[in-house]
Amino acid sequence: REEYLDRIDGMMFGPNPREGYFVDTRFLHPDLAFEITFPSGWRTVNQKTVVAAVSPDQDAVVTLQLAEGSDPESAIRTFLGQEGVSGGPVRRTGGAVRALFSATTQEGEIRGEIAFRTHDGALFQMMGYAPASRWNARAAAVSGTLSSFDRVTDRSVLDVQPWRLEIVPLRSAQSLRTFHTNHPSPTSLERLMLINRIDDADSVIPAGSRVKQVVGRPLP
């Protein structure tokens, strides 16, 4: 056990926020210095290659991902030139090139909006779509998300660091609840109980025991 505790001392705890994190439906990416806000009430997900949100009725989706190339105009022409895809006209607004489109899929016709923009030398693709019969009800939410992409300049976000595990020897016998009070943590007492495999937060832990603690600052 002692060797195990030595190994995990200082280990990152939880997802790395520098690779992006959500505050409600606002997505912030410290490493790439951008943010985008998805529609309120939509279910969000942050994966390695795509950030997305799905509508409550699961009838629409909005995605953000890196794209190949460096020219937004070329990228959107390539997208609209695909077989089964039609749309336009292409317009430039808010630093992005955008177009409405329709496409034929195996599940039927979809309609949506596509946008490409560059940010710090990278090309981003933003797209939202829904079944043709539901597009009018979702178009405004999709458009608002595509328009919300912006640079992050807030140092509290840009300087975010991941939480880490710290192994703390107890100088005196105490409960985990007392330890949590004396050593504030960005995570909950219930989470500390789980990672320390303690069922009763008020049971006394002997002096000299080594307790797992989560250290770091709450995400801004």
Average pLDDT in the chain: 96
Between vectors from CA 70 to CA 64 and to CA 73, what angle results, nearest 5°? Answer: 85
At residue 1 the predicted structure's pLDDT band, cuts being 50, 70 and 90, is confident
41-54: average pLDDT:
96
State yes or no: pLDDT of 106 exceeds 90: no
Rounded distance, CA 220 to CA 163, Å?
A: 13
pTM for the structure as a whole:
0.87
The answer to whether residue 167 scores a pLDDT higher than 90 is yes
Q: What is the dihedral of CA 214, 20, 220, 153, to 10 degrees?
A: 140
Nearest Cα to Cα of residue 180 among 211, 216, 218:
211
Residue 13 predicted with pLDDT over 90:
yes
Give the DSSP letter of residue 66.
E
The per-residue pLDDT for range 59-99, each reduced to its tens digit, is 999 999 999 999 999 999 999 999 999 998 999 998 999 99
pLDDT at 182: 93
Q: Average of pLDDT values for 134-153?
A: 97
Structure confidence at residue 181 as a pLDDT band (50, 70, 90): very high
pLDDT of the residue at 91: 95
Report the pLDDT value the prediction gives residue 94, as an integer from 0 to 100: 86
CA distances for 184 relative to 189, 190, 192, 220, angstroms: 10, 13, 11, 17
Q: 171-200 b/e with 16+ CB inside 10 Å = b? A: eeebebbbbbeeeebebeeeebbeebebee
Convert the pLDDT of each residue in 19-34 to its tens digit.
Answer: 999 999 999 999 999 9
List the one residue out of 152, 149, 104 whose CA is nearest residue 129: 104
Residue 107 has pLDDT above 90, yes or no: no
